[in-house]
Chains A and B, each alone.
Chain A
């Protein structure tokens, strides 16, 4: 399977601060990827590099096999919904659709219009008068009308109430299912994305900390509860301890496994996506990346 987005040693520096550094990742085609990390981790920077709005300071990024900002053939093939949903507030929804139709060679006006009508978004109202949820739906409809192969969405749910979130994700999933598109959604809240995403990229401190298929990641992590553990003796089946908590009697470990954990001293629990993300965020030195090659690069870089 080929990759929709490939970053190799990608970095972006603003004056003296790296907003993104040594970012190496692959988002396979057809996936719905969650780009997660605390505020300031580099999510928006990564998305802006992917769209060509920013140029890399180091490394390279390829999107659908092309270089953003250099290959004009890339523009019609992806859709981008920016964080602040930049629409012309004085335009009506119909004006926005006409604008999209005239500036895009590939444009499915009927699709956008029926979708917005079904959601009861008033097409003759000015964009500035719409609710936050309706504005988000307009931005999504405009992005989907390009019938893109790749959709990049920066914090699309942040300003929406729970009902509007659900509606937004419904329309997004329907659009993605229609064209088999790849989607990348950034968020600082993983719970929003748990239902829809099957691929996780965790950024923290401007670096990629975890990347991979969500089912595989969850399958390879367990929470162990047992009697207080002293020292760092190896537990059979545990590849790495991501996070540990101790009381005077008990130890709780979130671990990455490389085999079954059969030691009866440990009670073994499955972990949820949120637990996994929080455990890694709490331990910036731990990482889980798809290929050993990447892990080696990281180790060298941190030495």
Chain B
């Protein structure tokens, strides 16, 4: 069984945080097919959040085919997620090259973060990134 935690200052909505934590647990093998997710009642009793928020997160995971709600029993894991695909190291090297280039062009750390976040948000708006 896994336990959720909330970062209220992250600006990320609560249901998205829950979805991400389940995906993360699936990737790291902390959750395997057949495992049960905490019940809605357990989650709200520990985090003091709205039950509809948990239901929304579980529905989204169901929609992605990762879990399955069984009436009267709970929500169970169907599929696991492998480690993120793609060559991690190569991606990281490419990012480092980009950072060096940006610093050389006179940008500061804050500018880089702002630029990264804006670009990520733009792509999210175009629904390239989930």
Query: Which residues of A come within 8 Å of B, CB atoms?
Result: 30-32, 166, 169-171, 173-174, 176-178, 195-198, 215, 270
Question: Can you name 27 A-B residue pairings with CB atoms under 8 Å?
Answer: A31-B52, A32-B51, A32-B52, A166-B48, A169-B48, A170-B44, A171-B45, A173-B44, A173-B45, A173-B48, A173-B51, A174-B41, A174-B44, A174-B45, A176-B44, A177-B41, A177-B44, A195-B8, A195-B48, A196-B48, A196-B49, A196-B50, A197-B50, A198-B50, A198-B52, A198-B53, A215-B13
A197 to B44 alpha-carbon distance, docked (Å): 12
Q: Which B residues have a C-beta under 8 Å from some C-beta of A?
A: 6, 8, 11, 13-14, 40-41, 44-53
- Grouping DSSP codes into helix (H, G, I), strand (E, B) and loop, the A interface class, with mixed when no group exceeds half, is helix
Q: For residue B44, which residues in chain A have a CB less than 8 angstroms away from its CB? A: 170, 173-174, 176-177
In the complex, how many residue pairs between chain A and chain B have their CB atoms under 8 Å apart? 46
Cβ of B48: which chain A residues have Cβ within 8 Å of it? 166, 169-170, 173, 195-196
CA of A198 to CA of B44, assembled, Å: 14
CB–CB A170/B46 < 8 A = yes
At the interface, is chain B mostly helix, strand, loop or mixed?
helix
- A168 vs B50: C-alpha distance in the bound complex, in angstroms? 13
Residues of B with C-beta under 8 A to A177:
40-41, 44-45, 51
B50 to A173, Cβ gap below 8 A?
Answer: yes
Residue of B nearest to A191 (CB): B8
- Give every chain A residue within 8 A of B49 (Cβ-Cβ): 173, 195-196
A195 lies within 8 A of B50 (CB): yes
- Assembly CA distance A178 to B50 (angstroms): 12
Complex: A10 Cα to B117 Cα, angstroms: 47
The answer to whether B14 touches A195, judged by C-beta atoms less than 8 angstroms apart, is: yes
Which residues from chain A contact B41 at a C-beta distance below 8 Å?
Answer: 174, 177-178
Cα A178 to Cα B51 in complex, Å, equals 9
